[in-house]
Amino acid sequence: MAQVHVIDRDRADRLGEGPLWSAREDALYWVDILDHRINRLSLADGAVTSFEQPDYAAWIIERARGGFVAGIGRDVVLFDLPANTRVPIGKVDRGVAGNRLNDAKADHIGRIWAGTMPASCDQPSGAFYRIDHDGLIVHVDSPYTIANGPAIDPEGRFLLHTDTALGTIFRFDIHDDGSLGPRTPFVTFEPDWGNPDGMTFDANGGLWVACWGAACVTRFDPAGLRERSIDLPASQITSCAFAGPDLDRMFVTSAADGVDEAHGGALFEVDPGCRGRLPNMYAG
């Protein structure tokens, strides 16, 4: 069994999500969506700080030119961390007030792919968007009840995106103009696997998926075959990311909302036995 380390801090996340490794800061960022927080763990000294936001804190991604871009509520914002200030650059799901952003990743040329969902998690009113370098936001797919975990092929040939409510990870070809090919099932979860949540590729093309309800992260091989799992002491596992100078450390987020568990909402570190890839940055 892989060793699991619980990161020491003074709070649990109601809905921890979106871990992001920042090599230039030697730090891990992640969000607590429901408590409207962006969190930061310094790998140098283990210090954890958090930054309150005015709405659901869905995700945070580094900008190539410095600073961050973040999804707050339904707004995509340029985020100044030291000042904790936000400059809006666009809004998704206009006219659907009950929706919010939920998960996002940047691709190899610096575009962002981001999903939305109803805050109530109970109807397919969400969608999937591409955010271009100039801030243009383009609808690329719908509907979604719980849009989750984009994972993007390093060469940009395809991406994977999930509707957690359907228990399915979908595959889309990416066309040269940024449009997507048809939505095709890549992995359909069996009942005892939980439900697919956040995910990331490792350096060998394996897909690591956080398994909500199953207390583990699971690796699927490049063909989508389930290979192995790492068990965790919390049921609601939400996302995972590689970190550290050698990208051989994995951090895993979880959620405390709706459960009474000693480690629900904890941030975990595990040894994945492999290395990951550097996350892409937003070019806008």
Phi and psi torsions of 211, nearest 5°:
-105, 95
102 annotated ligand-binding residue: yes
Task: For 213-223, write each residue's pLDDT tens digit.
Answer: 999 999 999 99
| The one catalytic residue among 197, 231, 246, 248 | 197
| Structure confidence at residue 1 as a pLDDT band (50, 70, 90) | low
Domain 4-270: CATH superfamily is TolB, C-terminal domain (2.120.10.30)
Q: In this structure, are residues 263 and 254 in contact, taking their beta carbons and an 8 Å threshold?
A: yes
Give the integer Cα–Cα distance in Å for 123 and 178. 27
100 annotated ligand-binding residue: yes
Give the integer Cα–Cα distance in Å for 206 and 210. 13
Task: For 223-249, write each residue's pLDDT tens digit.
Answer: 999 999 999 999 999 999 999 999 999
Polymer length in residues for the chain? 284
Give the integer Cα–Cα distance in Å for 21 and 247. 9
Give the domain ranges of the chain.
Answer: 4-270
84 annotated ligand-binding residue: no
261 annotated ligand-binding residue: no
Average the pLDDT over 154-170 and give the result.
Answer: 95
Give the integer Cα–Cα distance in Å for 143 and 241. 26
pTM: 0.96
Residue 26 a catalytic site member: no
Task: For 73-111, write each residue's pLDDT tens digit.
Answer: 999 999 898 888 899 999 999 989 899 999 999 999 999
Task: For 111-137, write each residue's pLDDT tens digit.
Answer: 999 999 999 999 999 999 999 999 999
Nearest to 2 by CA among 264, 210, 270, 235: 270
